[in-house]
């Protein structure tokens, strides 16, 4: 991600630039695809992925230097294509690689603590599932929120109860303008209601990582995001 694209004149992140990057939010680690992650990511970016989150979790996930090396490889692909590289839940890794940002859940360090560690020029995303969590994340200085799970998902063992698009709709009705991305079980077939509810983008794991043709899968989401 170019700093010129994301940093405003006062040194803070430009929320509109963040909003644009959220349109097709691809999340993947080595366990999410039968093919090498680098191949899948390269094809997905060619299809229209606008931001990427490295999430190396689950049975068989890499650890130690193997995890670092894969992250560095995927970060290089993102940088070559101008796609922001976000690290899930591993602040040490994000700092070591000088990632573009981090994404955390409700059981991780709050955004205000992360901001102190990472500074004003990094993207901080927070998963939120209730109006109270949304307000707290905004107060803590999050740059965007992941709202869900919208649909049932098999990608996360600790997923919260499915809530559809109602929270996204309600937040927009209340005038909350922070960038929002829908999370959980989203496919090209069910993504339209998420955008219609007011989400700026959709986050996807299986629908792209598990696709036979990741480029085509990503392109389907890109077309929906452009409507």
Residues acting as catalytic residues: 55, 127, 156
Cβ(205)–Cβ(221) below 8 Å = no
Q: What is the CA angle 226-220-169, rounded to 5?
A: 55
Integer Cα distance of 203 and 49 in angstroms: 10
Binding-site entries: 53-57, 88-89, 108, 127, 153-156, 185, 205-206
Alpha helices in the chain (DSSP H): 3-6, 15-21, 37-47, 64-81, 91-97, 111-118, 131-140, 166-173, 192-197, 206-209, 214-225
- Give me the sign of the Cα torsion angle 107, 103, 194, 216: negative
Integer Cα distance of 95 and 86 in angstroms: 11
Binding-site entries for Mg(2+): 89, 108
Cis-peptide, bond into residue 139, ω within 30° of zero: no
Strands 123-128 and 85-88, how do they pair? unpaired
Locate 33 and state its tokens.
Answer: 């695809």
């Amino acid at each position: 991600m170019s700093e010129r694209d994301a940093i405003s004149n006062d040194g803070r992140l430009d929320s509109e630039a963040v909003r644009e990057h959220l349109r097709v939010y691809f999340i993947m680690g080595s366990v999410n695809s039968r093919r090498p992650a680098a191949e899948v990511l390269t094809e997905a970016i060619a299809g229209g992925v606008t931001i990427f989150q490295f999430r190396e979790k689950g049975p068989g996930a890499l650890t130690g230097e193997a995890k670092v090396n894969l992250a560095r490889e995927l970060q290089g692909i993102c940088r070559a294509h101008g796609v922001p590289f976000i690290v899930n839940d591993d602040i040490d890794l994000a700092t070591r690689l000088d990632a573009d940002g981090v994404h955390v859940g409700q059981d991780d360090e709050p955004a205000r603590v992360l901001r102190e560690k990472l500074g004003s020029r990094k993207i901080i995303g927070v998963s939120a599932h209730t109006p109270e969590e949304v307000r707290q994340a905004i107060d803590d200085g999050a740059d965007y929120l992941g709202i869900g799970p919208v649909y049932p998902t098999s990608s996360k063992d600790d997923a919260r109860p499915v809530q559809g698009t109602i929270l996204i709709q309600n937040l927009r009705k209340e005038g909350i303008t922070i960038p929002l991305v829908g999370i959980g079980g989203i496919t090209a077939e069910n993504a339209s209601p998420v955008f219609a509810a007011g989400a700026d983008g959709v986050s996807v794991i299986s629908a792209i990582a598990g696709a036979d043709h990741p480029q085509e899968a990503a392109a389907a989401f890109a077309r929906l995001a452009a409507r």
